[in-house]
Structure 1
Amino acid sequence: MNLAVQTSAQRLKAYCDSQLVANQIQGVYEAHDERMIKYLSKVRQLASKFKNFEVVRIPRTKNAKVDVMSKLSASGYATLGSICMEFLQKSSIENEAVEVMQVMNKSCWMDGIIEYLRGGKLPEAKKEARKVIQRAA
């Protein structure tokens, strides 16, 4: 959320695989733990900076694409266009300053795989499309 604020995003849709966290943010559950109350307060403060903020719970069994993309971006081998990274020296409820580093990458052989994983987009050539599907698996 800090990164989205820093990049002047107006709308943010956040995906979360924790039922507890997603429901606390949505107001379905009440936070009781002191630490969770602080995090929830931070989320609400940041959410107020967007025209539209939504959190969506994704069951862990259905977030394989997100896990793959996360691992690709963290590995340094993939390009996902412009990647913004936030480095936290301590937990976000203690940290007010945000250090943002923008990384620009050139195109890579994995771009087609990433486009497929993100939105199901495949090359028009059937042979290339089959390669992308096989590599994505």
Structure 2
Amino acid sequence: MFTDGASNDEGAGAGLKITNPEGQHFTYVLRLEFKSTNNEAEYDALLAGLRIAKKLGARHLEAHVDSMLAANQIEGSYDAKYDKMASYLAQAKALMATFATCKVKHIIRSGNKEGDALSKLAAVGFEHLAKDVRVEVLAAPSIMNREILVCSETGNSWMTPIINYLARGILPEKKSDARKIRHKALNYTIQGDILYRRSYLGPLLRCVDTQDANYLLR
């Protein structure tokens, strides 16, 4: 995990990127709607990253922060002299203890360019952007990607292997197919017997059956 916090006259923000063992990247921009120093924003970025990593199911985490103060306070070589810093430090250690292993390392800003850019974006006063814009990534032109999240009533669809794996732990016998399903299933979750696709910067996307899909399209 790479985190960075930024504070200026217009506001404060945090940016973070989490990469799992399969190489998937989860990127977040956080707008801090309260007064914050650079070091406090750095801590808020780290704490937010720890909470998100926990929700993603991480057990072993290596966090890189560009705040030398935060890294050294967590390591124990610096003291947290002020009450606010002591509270941030205590919260960070409490969250770190919920992982099987968790290390926090200092990284220079040039080695954390993405986090730095994200935190600066979030620190800018962009009220309309923060409220109205959701960012998604298109991997191919829309005219070439016609896949729709639709399930047929027979229950035999592209979603069936994903549901079988998430709900029952059942994988295809062929190893290559099993590997693909494991990788693809990381983007989905089941809640209340309903399959959803994860949306990093928005709500979960519900997969609907043919009847509901036709209704929605009309």
Q: What is the TM-score when the length of structure 2 is the normalising length? A: 0.33
Deviations 1:66-114 (A, max 9, x none): 445776xx972547x96xxxxxxxxxxxxxxxxxxx5159xxxxxxxxx
> What residue number does 2:99 align with?
50
Q: What is the DSSP-based 3-state SS (H/G/I as helix, E as strand, rest coil) of the residue aligned with 1:36? A: helix
Match of 2:70 in 1: 21
Give the superposed CA RMSD: 2.9
Q: Does 1:41 align with 2:90?
A: yes
The runs of at least 4 aligned residues of structure 1 exceeding 4 Å deviation read 68-71
- Name the CA distance, whole Å, in 2 between partners of 1:24 and 1:3: 22
SS in 2 for 1:8: coil
Q: Secondary structure at the match of 2:199?
A: strand
Secondary structure of 1:103's match?
A: coil
Q: Which deviates the most, 23-32 or 60-69?
A: 60-69
Gaps of 5+ in 1: 83-101, 106-137
Q: Does structure 1 conserve the Cα–Cα contact (< 8 Å) formed by 2:69 and 2:78?
A: yes
Q: How many residues align?
A: 83
Q: Answer 1 or 2: which has greater strand percent.
A: 2
Which is higher, the Rg of structure 1 or of structure 2?
A: 2
Aligned to 2:135: 76
Map 1:1-137 → 2, pairs under 5 A = 1-67=50-116, 76-78=135-137, 102-103=198-199
One-letter amino acid matched to 2:105: V
Which runs of no fewer than 5 residues in structure 2 stay unpaired? 1-49, 122-132, 139-185, 188-197, 202-218
